Structure 1
Amino acid sequence: MLPVIETIALRQMASGDRLHLQLYKFIGARPGKKVYIQSNLHGAEIAGNAVIHQLIEFFLTINDTELTGEIWLVPVCNPMGTNERAHHFSPGRYCVYEAKDWNRIFWDYEKEADDLVAFTKSQVHIDLEVVRQNYLTRIKQQFAKILEKINSTSSVPYTNLFSYKLQNLSLDADYLIDLHSSTDQALEYLYYFRSREDSAKYFGFDFGILLDKYDGDAFDEAFIKPWLALEACFKELGREIKFDVEAWTLELGTGMQMNPDSVAKGVRGMKNYLAQKGVLQIPDLLDDTKTHEMTFTSSSNRKKYYAIAGGMIQSRIKLGSSVKAGEKLYQILSFNKEGKLPSVIDVFAGQDGLVYDVATNQAVNEGEFVLGIVS
């Protein structure tokens, strides 16, 4: 099956050169769900590009009868961040011009939906799929006002334009998957939202983090937050519903690397998820997820450790280690400027948990990130 390939103009630079996005659409023989998949929103997080490439190669080998619905893929979705360099390092986490995180700039309909209760009351006795279409229409109508601002003579900052381009592609998706990795070194895991645990198991990851606290400005949050709010509003009115709308952020290990194991885990999980959701009609792809043991925790259970003094990190506990409260995590070799000998400072865990993220740089200024633990 061949994709429809679209090249989307993104930005003209001062030099006159232009940046573009490339979209690959695989459209099945029968209508169904729309899946939107993107990678590399943060510049250093490149493993997802390899995942998308391998998915494209796989989709080329199947027939359109084996795909129900459509799958849209956007690799290298943020060329500005991807191209950013500082010597050998690829930062690209922030728009340096506007001082904003590239994944904290997205439009959240719920913040503007001041008539949600009235809308929900009008839909209490209506079929679920009709409710979805009615609500999506309202979201699209409000979203269209952004384009009016973009096309005005005063226009908008680039992050507004950029976020519009990505959300315009994904706003009407049923399933949204945003492929990330750590800025530093990390395990593979996923972020998920309320009451989506069963689907989370389809990816085959060892653990998932529930986003129980969020502001709605991240890509996955902005997509699903309006639907979660509508579900909650229906519940208050006595109707229990759950839309077949899902958003995921897959964290594929270490930044600035195309780790083969992380990529393979991402590809395998994506195929199984798409098969389990009925998008790919290929029984051989289905894994038995009922017996898969997956650990779930909440984002509020994450604890980041920051350097209590400047110096060099040594004897740091390994990534993936389980720790107990009181166990030594690392040492700081501190070279003071007080006429004293260098000192070694021991840092201990404040709680039990799993070391899931560690800093790449082992030279730290006071207050810089060293490692993260989730319990």
Structure 2
Amino acid sequence: MKHIQHLLPWSAMGTERHLSVFRFGSGPRKAYIQASLHADELPGMRVAVELKRRLRELEAQGRLKGVIELVPVANPIGLGQMFQATHQGRFEFSSGKNFNRDFPVLADAVAPHLEGRLGEDAEANVALIRSAMVHVLEGMPAAESELDELRRRLMRHACDADVVLDLHCDFESIMLLYAFPQNWPRLRSLAARLGAGAALLAEDAGGNAFDEACAMPWLQLAERFPEANIPLACVATTIELRGMADTDREPCVASAEQILGFLAEQGLIGGDWPEAPTTCCEATPFAGAQYACAPHPGVVSFLQPVGAQVKVGDPLFEVIDPLTDRYSVVHATTDGIVYARERLRFAQPGLWLAKVAGATPIRQGRLLSD
């Protein structure tokens, strides 16, 4: 195991923060795993603890057949953002920006380095593109903030990976994945291993979140250079490891083993591993997800648990204003599964309270909320 530390610039005088990367194994293939980019989403960090322990064992046993890089704390900035004993890890205090948005857009930057150099050899094209990505990221002007440098460092470690897993969670949630439709065939076994109840697919969810920033260049470059053989060389996904309180040992140990089994299936780990289950959730378009909001302020009572299958018209939650006695019930507008609920129980304007994954597109434009 190699421990790599990157100093983040622009810390306050007398303080400093580091991004830690743990590198295991060697070989031409690579997987990159990071946890808790939204720093208050701790199930990923707990799973990373188990991954780190197991990767040490597997490396000592000589079973790693490629490089696996693990970033257990992908956001040291947000990790320290506590306000009156409440963790605020989703948005950077100084800028108000979401930590998982606006990652570097690589396709346009690397394209000039590829003109006239790509051909029919897919393997050579992949190597050339990855080299150009590294060159572009390392040649960027000096970072203007801690957050800017953090984004670049994370992208630099992930840009040459065959598999990228970004470990997140929702407020209260089932296990689910976000991915490109083109990558779903390879990710289906991961969803089956994890027992995911939903997989939400979109080619452009908006905001250039981390997994999308890693996978999108391969789609865009293939479109830009149609005469060249450019495969989708990065299979990237965001894994929602249930809800924010789901850090119990046993499920986190199980999730780590399921992820390792998938990496073994991808040729990165040797030895005997359980086969992926044959049954799996059906993937649905991210555009088919209902984000249910309240029509007025009030205290919220949920009428469906996470994981519930609902039909159009089924009640999701009720909202009661204790001063005016105004009462409303919000219903499902699509058939599907309730995959997430808000942790707070007070309705606020424009903020979702429940999410339902449906098979029929009902939304357009930017799909990710901030």
> TM > 0.5 between the two?
yes
Tell me if the contact between 1:201 and 1:292 (Cα under 8 Å) persists in the aligned partners. Answer: no
- Per-residue deviation at 1:264? 3.8
- Per-residue deviation at 1:42? 0.4
SS at match of 1:176: strand
Paired with 1:195 and 1:366, the residues of 2 have a C-alpha distance of: 35
Tell me if the contact between 2:166 and 2:238 (Cα under 8 Å) persists in the aligned partners. Answer: yes
The aligned counterpart of 1:293 is 280
Moved more, 70-79 or 60-69: 60-69
Paired with 1:141 and 1:366, the residues of 2 have a C-alpha distance of: 45
Q: 1:361 corresponds to which letter in structure 2? A: L
- Per-residue deviation at 1:261? 5.7
Match of 1:217 among 208, 212, 230: 208
Tell me if the contact between 1:274 and 1:280 (Cα under 8 Å) persists in the aligned partners. Answer: yes
Q: 1:350 and 2:347 equivalent? A: no
Q: 1:288 corresponds to which letter in structure 2? A: A
Q: Cα deviation per residue 1:312-356 (whole Å; 9 max; x = unaligned)?
A: 0124311111111111111111134xxxx5132122211211111
Match of 2:321 among 334, 340, 356: 334
SS at match of 1:356: strand
Paired with 1:78 and 1:288, the residues of 2 have a C-alpha distance of: 31
Q: Cα deviation per residue 1:102-134 (whole Å; 9 max; x = unaligned)?
A: 011310112435659x83x75243x11111112
The aligned counterpart of 1:273 is 262
The aligned counterpart of 1:194 is 181
Q: Structure 1 residues 259, 87: closer, same or farther in 2, change over 3 A?
A: farther
Q: 2:222 corresponds to which letter in structure 1? A: E
The aligned counterpart of 2:292 is 305
Amino-acid identity (%): 23
Tell me if the contact between 2:119 and 2:229 (Cα under 8 Å) persists in the aligned partners. Answer: no
The aligned counterpart of 1:110 is 107
Q: Cα deviation per residue 1:138-166 (whole Å; 9 max; x = unaligned)?
A: 222322331xx21xxxx513321221121
Paired with 1:286 and 1:256, the residues of 2 have a C-alpha distance of: 28
TM-score, length of structure 2 as denominator length: 0.88
In angstroms, what is the RMSD of aligned CA positions? 2.3
Match of 2:145 among 135, 154, 157: 157
Q: Cα deviation per residue 1:55-110 (whole Å; 9 max; x = unaligned)?
A: 12112223453111111111111111122123343221011211211011310112
Q: Structure 1 residues 171, 208: closer, same or farther in 2, change over 3 A?
A: same
Q: Cα deviation per residue 1:192-235 (whole Å; 9 max; x = unaligned)?
A: 2232223212322333111232346211111111112233445x
Q: Unpaired segments of 5 or more residues in structure 2?
A: 359-370
Q: Cα deviation per residue 1:236-262 (whole Å; 9 max; x = unaligned)?
A: 44x775344211211101125414465
Q: Structure 1 residues 24, 359: closer, same or farther in 2, change over 3 A?
A: same
TM-score, length of structure 1 as denominator length: 0.87
Tell me if the contact between 1:10 and 1:18 (Cα under 8 Å) persists in the aligned partners. Answer: yes
Tell me if the contact between 2:107 and 2:220 (Cα under 8 Å) persists in the aligned partners. Answer: yes
Q: Unpaired segments of 5 or more residues in structure 1?
A: none
Paired with 2:301 and 2:338, the residues of 1 have a C-alpha distance of: 16
- Per-residue deviation at 1:4? 1.4
Tell me if the contact between 2:35 and 2:167 (Cα under 8 Å) persists in the aligned partners. Answer: yes
